[in-house]
């Protein structure tokens, strides 16, 4: 009996101590919050409501000017057209792709592509390769009035002797460097960033 009473008293004492500790914790939290409010000028501060606590006010990003938006759209469109020409290839008419790519290229890229065109014709004809794809998204990485970097993603298929003339999925991400020449955005470099 005595042990039971002692145990009950101990449980009551522990419960009371827990309640007191909880009250002290709430009091300390209240004091801490009150001080924080005083330090920011006594106003209510809600994170995400125009105030980035600890780092200053969050400012809205200004919209680009109409000229900048037009230029960006032209850069993305030029890159998308180049990639569409580049990834669509029919071994029965290789010159269509080669001429389209060459017409939108400049500088070292144009020179290198022209040098490899004959090998591309021969390889595609030997493999009877047919590749079709479409641009699924494009994004401007950086751009100004004279240059741009654009990443373009495609989704498509390829069939040739290697695939047993069955279509296999081919997805590409390409990065293009563009320059403005004579009022046109031309590709001066094209690289694969990811293959799939």
Q: Are residues 150 and 87 in the same domain?
A: yes
Mean pLDDT for the stretch of residues 29-50: 54
Mean pLDDT for the stretch of residues 7-25: 67
Summary mean pLDDT of the chain:
83
Give the per-residue pLDDT at 49: 47
State which of 38, 57, 76 marks the end of a domain: 57
State which of 57, 80, 96 marks the end of a domain: 57
Q: How many CB atoms lie within 10 A of CB 86?
A: 23
Q: Are residues 72 and 168 in the same domain?
A: yes
Contacts of 15 (CB under 8 A, 6+ apart): none
Q: Are residues 161 and 143 in the same domain?
A: yes
Q: Are residues 107 and 169 in the same domain?
A: yes
Minimal CA–CA distance to 140: which of 87, 61, 80? Answer: 80
CA 129 – CA 162 distance, rounded (Å): 9
Contacts of 144 (CB under 8 A, 6+ apart): none
Give the per-residue pLDDT at 43: 46
Q: Are residues 151 and 88 in the same domain?
A: yes
Q: Are residues 121 and 151 in the same domain?
A: yes
77 to 122, 132, 176, 179: CA distances (angstroms)? 31, 19, 12, 13
CATH assignment of the domain containing 191 = 3.10.450.540
Q: Is 140 helix (H, G, I), strand (E, B) or coil?
A: strand
Q: Are residues 142 and 186 in the same domain?
A: yes
Q: Taking the alpha carbons of 68, 74, 77, 82 in that order, is the dihedral positive or negative?
A: negative
State which of 57, 75, 102 marks the end of a domain: 57
Q: Are residues 131 and 179 in the same domain?
A: yes
Give the per-residue pLDDT at 46: 45
Of 69-78, 115-124, 130-139, 146-155, which range is least confident? 115-124
Q: Are residues 184 and 106 in the same domain?
A: yes
The tally of domains found in the chain comes to 2
Determine the structural domain holding residue 37 and report its residue range: 2-57
Q: Are residues 78 and 160 in the same domain?
A: yes
Higher pLDDT, 1 or 123: 123
Q: Are residues 161 and 76 in the same domain?
A: yes
Q: Are residues 51 and 71 in the same domain?
A: no
CA 115 – CA 105 distance, rounded (Å): 13
Give the per-residue pLDDT at 190: 94
Condensed to tens digits (0 to 9), the pLDDT of residues 42-65 reads 444 444 444 455 566 777 778 878
Higher pLDDT, 196 or 134: 134
């Amino acid at each position: 009996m005595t042990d039971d009473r002692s145990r009950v008293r101990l449980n009551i004492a522990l419960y009371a101590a827990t309640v007191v500790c909880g009250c002290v914790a709430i009091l300390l939290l209240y004091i801490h919050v009150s001080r924080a409010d005083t330090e920011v000028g006594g106003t209510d501060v809600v994170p995400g409501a125009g105030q980035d606590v600890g780092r200053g006010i969050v400012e809205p990003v200004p919209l680009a000017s109409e000229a900048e938006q037009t230029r960006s759209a032209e850069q993305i469109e030029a890159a998308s057209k180049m990639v569409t020409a580049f990834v669509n290839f029919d071994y029965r008419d290789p010159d269509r792709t080669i001429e389209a790519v060459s017409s939108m290229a400049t500088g070292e890229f144009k020179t290198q592509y022209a040098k490899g065109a004959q090998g591309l014709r021969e390889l595609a004809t030997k493999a009877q390769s047919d590749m079709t794809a479409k641009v699924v998204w494009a994004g401007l990485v950086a751009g100004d009035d004279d240059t741009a970097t654009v990443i373009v993603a495609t989704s498509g298929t390829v069939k040739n002797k290697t695939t047993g003339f069955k279509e296999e999925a081919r997805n590409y991400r390409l990065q293009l460097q563009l320059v403005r020449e004579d009022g046109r955005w031309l590709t001066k470099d094209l690289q694969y960033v990811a293959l799939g």
